[in-house]
Amino acid sequence: MKHQDPLVRRSYRHKKPRKIQSWQWTLFLLAIITIIGLAFSAINYYNGIKMQKEIATATNTLLTQAKQTQDKADLTMEAQVHKNKAFTSISFLPAEQTVLPFKNLEKTYQTFYHQKSDHDSKLPPLFIGSVQKKKLTDELARYTVIVTTYEWDKKEHAFQKIDSKTTQSAFVNTTNQHKMNAKELIQTKANLLGIQQIVKNELLKKAKNPDQIIDAVIALPDLSWKTKMTYHQKYLEIKVPLEGDKTTTVKLSYNQIKPFIQTQLVDPKVLKKDTPKEPEDKKYLALTFDDGPNPQTTPDILNILAKEKVKATFFLLGKNVEQAPNLVKQAKEQGHELASHSYSHPFLPNLTNQQVSDEVQKTDKAIYNAIGELPQFLRPPYGAVDENTAQRIGKPIIQWNVDSLDWQSKNKNAILSVIKQTVAPNSIVLLHDIQPATVEALPEVIAYLKKENYTLVTISELLGHQAKPMHQYFGKDDERKI
Ligand code: NI
- For residue 353, how far is its CA from the centre of ligand 1 (angstroms)? 20
Residue type for position 39: A
**432 is known as an active-site residue:** yes
Q: Is 307:342 a contact under the CB 8 Å cutoff?
A: no
- Alpha helix segments (H runs only) across 353-423: 353-371, 387-393, 406-409, 412-422
SS3 475: strand
Distance, first Cα to last Cα, the chain: 148
SS3 60: helix
Q: Is 456:289 a contact under the CB 8 Å cutoff?
A: no
- For residue 378, how far is its CA from the centre of ligand 1 (angstroms)? 11
- Which residues hold their Cβ within 5 A of ligand 1, which is an ion? 290-291, 381
- For residue 380, how far is its CA from the centre of ligand 1 (angstroms)? 8
100: left (phi over 0), alpha (psi -120 to 50) or beta: beta
Q: Which of 290, 291, 406, 433 is catalytic?
A: 290
- For residue 400, how far is its CA from the centre of ligand 1 (angstroms)? 12
DSSP state of 123: S
- For residue 253, how far is its CA from the centre of ligand 1 (angstroms)? 36
- For residue 356, how far is its CA from the centre of ligand 1 (angstroms)? 16
Q: Which of 336, 341, 364, 432 is catalytic?
A: 432
Which are the contacts of 107, defined by CB distance < 8 A and separation ≥ 6? none
Angstrom distance (rounded) from CA 148 to CA 163: 6
- For residue 301, how far is its CA from the centre of ligand 1 (angstroms)? 17
- For residue 300, how far is its CA from the centre of ligand 1 (angstroms)? 19
Question: ∠ at Cα 31 (30, 32), nearest 5°?
Answer: 90
pLDDT tens, the chain, 482 aa long = 455 555 555 555 565 667 778 888 899 999 999 999 898 888 888 888 888 898 999 999 999 998 888 888 778 899 999 998 889 999 999 887 778 888 889 999 999 998 887 656 678 899 999 999 999 999 999 999 999 999 988 888 899 998 999 988 999 999 998 999 999 999 999 999 999 999 999 999 999 999 989 999 999 989 999 999 999 999 999 999 877 778 899 999 999 999 999 999 999 999 987 766 666 678 999 999 999 999 999 999 999 999 999 999 999 999 999 999 999 999 999 999 999 999 999 999 999 999 999 999 999 999 999 999 999 999 999 999 999 999 999 999 999 999 999 999 999 999 999 999 999 999 999 999 999 999 999 999 999 999 999 999 999 999 988 899 999 999 999 999 99
**290 is known as an active-site residue:** yes
Q: Is 210:374 a contact under the CB 8 Å cutoff?
A: no
Question: 229-231 and 235-241 as β-strands: parallel, antiparallel, unpaired?
Answer: antiparallel
Angstrom distance (rounded) from CA 123 to CA 24: 44
SS3 263: helix
- For residue 30, how far is its CA from the centre of ligand 1 (angstroms)? 115
Residue 320: predicted pLDDT: 98
- For residue 144, how far is its CA from the centre of ligand 1 (angstroms)? 56
- For residue 321, how far is its CA from the centre of ligand 1 (angstroms)? 14
- For residue 280, how far is its CA from the centre of ligand 1 (angstroms)? 32
Residue type for position 72: K
Prediction pTM value = 0.82
Long-range pairs for 202-206 at CB < 8 Å and ≥24 separation? Answer: 202/250, 202/252, 202/256, 203/240, 203/248, 203/250, 204/374, 206/250
Which are the contacts of 132, defined by CB distance < 8 A and separation ≥ 6? 69, 73, 143, 144, 146
